[in-house]
Amino acid sequence: MAKAHRRPAWIEVDRTVLERNALKMANVVAPSVLCAVVKADGYGHGAIESAKAFVKGGAHWLAVAVVEEGIELRRAGIDEPILLLSEPLGGGMEEAVVHKLVPTIYTHEGIVQLVQATKKLGSQGESTQFHIKVDTGMHRVGCAPGQLVDLVELASQFREITLSGLWTHFALADDLSSDFSRAQISQFDAVVDQALTGVNQTVVVHMANSAAAGRYEEARRDMVRCGISLYGYSPIDGPEEPTFESAMALKARVSFVKEVPENSGLSYGHQYVTEHQTTIATVPIGYADGVPRRYGSCGGHVLIGGKPCRVVGAVTMDQLLVDCGRVTKVQVGDEVVLLGSQGDEKITARDWAKWLSVITYEVVCGFTGRLPRIWVN
């Protein structure tokens, strides 16, 4: 808590909420295994503590985007299997072998590099596990469906490596108007059946992300990779009530209060001019912390004294201004909630996404490391 007192702006994350979300998802997708995605510093929540909470809640695997994220988890003493969601580049393959990460491969060069890294750095007599990703329509990374058999056959020639997984990723699982995911499932099934003919070892097949895990039971297979749902946010934009609890709150404290007369321009550019005399509170958080400069101009609010109050003027690097005209007795030190609950009011990441015309992923991943993460419960 010391950091929060020195700089009164912080993020609170409830670890018991993360545990409950993981337990709920694990029960939903059973008997499939739950892989919790903790890339991007645990979607802005904090990767290490999020990973520990998800494992306690029932996740058997973890997934990250880059080698450095996997190393961070290993150095924190996390021993669960960690899947790298992209093929490591440069020296990343060697780091993956050293830290016993499970790389995703989708090129011939990747297989050769993994073999070479294992020969150089792997444990004596122990092969390196890896997964192959197939591109069935996302067109981001992954081998073409027609290349899968060749990659599997190439990998089978080397005792240093072991194919332990095959996977793909949905492009439109969160689009309720699209059935493209079923076409991806069919294409993936066809090439997987062909590629695994004659393969004797156990190969984990997985394709479902958070959206697909809920919509397509047939996509769950041996494992599901869930990210945004575990943090409490729906991957599908719609009016339905959220299935999981949000674990993050963004808070600060009022640092200055002043009475401002009518027709006063506020902040840089005087983008906002007061219509009448009002109370303006300064809050020590800004775009360097992840609150966009346009947050006020697009309708963004905060909660003070249990009341929604409008952010006004351009958000600056370290501070923003709030019109507290409807709130009485605002004073320095009062709690400000930018994300979360206060009294009977609540501001959600979905509210932010609506105001800013973005998605909830961008909101929670956008808060910077300058904000300390404080774990509660």
Indicate which residues carry an active-site annotation. 39, 268
Return phi, psi of residue 27, to 5°.
-70, -35
Cis amide linkage into residue 235, ω under 30° from 0: no
Q: Which H or E element spans position 62?
A: strand 61-64
Per-residue DSSP letters for 122-169?
Answer: SPTT-PEEEEEEB-SS--SSSB-GGGHHHHHHHHTT-TTEEEEEEE--
Angstrom distances, CA of residue 349 to CA of 21, 245, 306: 17, 12, 18
Residue carrying structure tokens 């080698």? 67
Q: Are the C-beta atoms of residues 101 and 67 closer than 8 Å to each other?
A: yes
Structure tokens at 227: 């990210």
Give the β-pairing of 278-283 and 256-260. antiparallel
Please tell me the distance from the alpha carbon of residue 208 to that of residue 275, in angstroms, as a whole number: 52
Please tell me the distance from the alpha carbon of residue 306 to that of residue 269, in angstroms, as a whole number: 30
Please tell me the distance from the alpha carbon of residue 363 to that of residue 197, in angstroms, as a whole number: 44
Residue carrying structure tokens 């912080």? 10
Q: Cβ of 297: how many Cβ atoms within 10 Å?
A: 16
Q: Are the C-beta atoms of residues 47 and 33 closer than 8 Å to each other?
A: no
Please tell me the distance from the alpha carbon of residue 289 to that of residue 258, in angstroms, as a whole number: 24
